[in-house]
Amino acid sequence: MTDSAFLQSLHAQFATPPDRIAGLVHKIIGGEVTSMHRVVNGYDNEVHRVTVDGHAPLFVRIRRNGEGDFSAEAAAMESARGAGVPTPEIVALDRVASDDAERDVMILAAAPGRALEEVADDLSVQDHHAALVDLGRVLARLHEVRMPGAWRPGPDGRWPDPAELRGYFIRDRLAERPELVRAGLSEAEIERTFEALQEDPAPHTEPVLCHGDLNRGHVFVDSRSRVSCLIDWGMWHAGSTAGEFGYVWKTFGDDGLEAVLLGHRAGSPTDPELRRSIAVSLCQTQIGHIAHHVGIGDDQGVRFNVARLRRALAELDRPGRTP
């Protein structure tokens, strides 16, 4: 099953009655809903694109899975916006009676610009590079936001103990060895990956605000190839720049990472210490990504994520790289 088919199957299991969504939107902004389109994307939220007479399109996100309500995500978005990062306007946080229970809702205004994945084929190589350099500038502003703890606070507002959090993470990744074997990784590759798992990719650094899910569908650009909005903050967390760059490397490739680093100015794109920390971070997160795609039977996703892991391992083993 491909990841797309898995999402279709997952989202087919739930649906909020359209009249309740329309009633909620009418209560908040007035006007009559003229159209409603289901957007199947992501694992945690039921999403509808809604148009209302006299208003720009809205996106209604209804919490289905994941941790807590939308308040922490909204706070992260507001912190990012305060640092100069373009985020979607939050129209309202509310609740709606769904098919089985009352569920938390976030209503967002449509993002300005167009998703990079929609315009990528129309952009010149230079314009695409310029967009990713600007993404680096935007991330530099985001990473100026210092966070009071690691990962995310619990429902009681307390942040997890960093040592315990890391211990749980390592334990869970080690338990995914069978999935790495099924993915076709050799014993030597698995052992090298687990060696990287024991390293701290960003020692002696304070946690910063991270988006956590940067890809071509979540980066919007304007007609000048400048970043106009970063959408979908569901994976926000307090983490490291190395972790954010690792995900950028995974989704945008070698050239994309170099462009983002040029804009961010966290260090030279050729700095061996920076490149190593990014590679270590990517090795660690790829374990869970590979296990997920093995678990749902997504062969294409397995191949893609294994290739990214092997690219990170190759970076770690380049001559001159020191542990």
CATH code at position 100: 3.30.200.20
CA atoms of 260 and 120, how far apart (whole Å): 16
Beta pairing, strands 45-52 & 90-97: unpaired
Does some domain include residue 321?
no
CB 108 within 8 A of CB 170: no
Determine the straight-line distance between the first and last CA of the chain, rounded to whole angstroms: 38
Residues near 282 by Cβ (< 8 Å), separated by ≥ 6?
246, 247, 249, 250, 308, 309, 312
Q: Which pLDDT value is given to residue 95?
A: 96
End residue of a domain, out of 63, 80, 109: 109
Does some domain include residue 104?
yes
Is the domain of 140 the same as that of 20?
no
Q: Which phi and psi (to 5°) does residue 239 adopt? A: -150, -145
CA atoms of 145 and 238, how far apart (whole Å): 9
CA atoms of 117 and 90, how far apart (whole Å): 23
CA atoms of 171 and 239, how far apart (whole Å): 19
Domain tally, the chain: 2
Is the domain of 171 the same as that of 75?
no
Q: Of 189, 285, 289, 206, nearest to 245 (Cα)?
A: 285
Is the domain of 64 the same as that of 121?
no
* CA 76 distance to own-chain centroid: 13
CA atoms of 213 and 235, how far apart (whole Å): 6
CB 233 within 8 A of CB 44: no
CB 44 within 8 A of CB 37: no
Q: Of 169, 45, 166, 60, nearest to 109 (Cα)?
A: 60
Is the domain of 141 the same as that of 196?
yes
Does some domain include residue 37?
yes
Is the domain of 124 the same as that of 103?
no
Is the domain of 158 the same as that of 76?
no
End residue of a domain, out of 109, 124, 156: 109
End residue of a domain, out of 56, 89, 109: 109
Enclosing domain of residue 143:
114-316
Tens-digit pLDDT string for the chain (323 aa)? 888 899 999 999 999 999 999 999 999 999 899 999 999 999 999 999 999 998 899 999 999 987 778 999 999 999 999 999 999 999 999 999 987 789 999 999 999 999 999 998 999 999 999 999 999 999 999 999 999 999 999 988 899 999 999 999 999 999 999 999 999 999 999 999 999 999 998 887 899 999 999 999 999 999 999 999 999 999 999 999 999 999 999 999 999 999 999 999 988 888 999 999 999 999 999 999 999 999 999 999 999 999 999 999 999 998 765 55
Here the CATH number for the domain that contains residue 166 is: 3.90.1200.10
Beta pairing, strands 102-109 & 114-115: unpaired
CA atoms of 284 and 280, how far apart (whole Å): 6
Does some domain include residue 323?
no
3-state secondary structure (DSSP) of residue 269: coil
Does some domain include residue 322?
no
Is the domain of 142 the same as that of 120?
yes
Is the domain of 119 the same as that of 64?
no
Is the domain of 172 the same as that of 291?
yes
Q: Of 281, 306, 282, nearest to 292 (Cα)?
A: 306
Return the amino acid letter for 12.
Answer: A
Is the domain of 30 the same as that of 118?
no
CB 219 within 8 A of CB 115: yes
Does some domain include residue 224?
yes
Does some domain include residue 133?
yes
CA atoms of 2 and 149, how far apart (whole Å): 36
Is the domain of 49 the same as that of 189?
no
Does some domain include residue 269?
yes
Q: Which pLDDT value is given to residue 205?
A: 83
Is the domain of 192 the same as that of 146?
yes
CA atoms of 179 and 310, how far apart (whole Å): 15
Q: Is the pTM of this model over 0.75?
A: yes
Q: How far is CA 144 from CA 79, 82, 159, in A?
A: 10, 11, 20
CB 273 within 8 A of CB 318: no
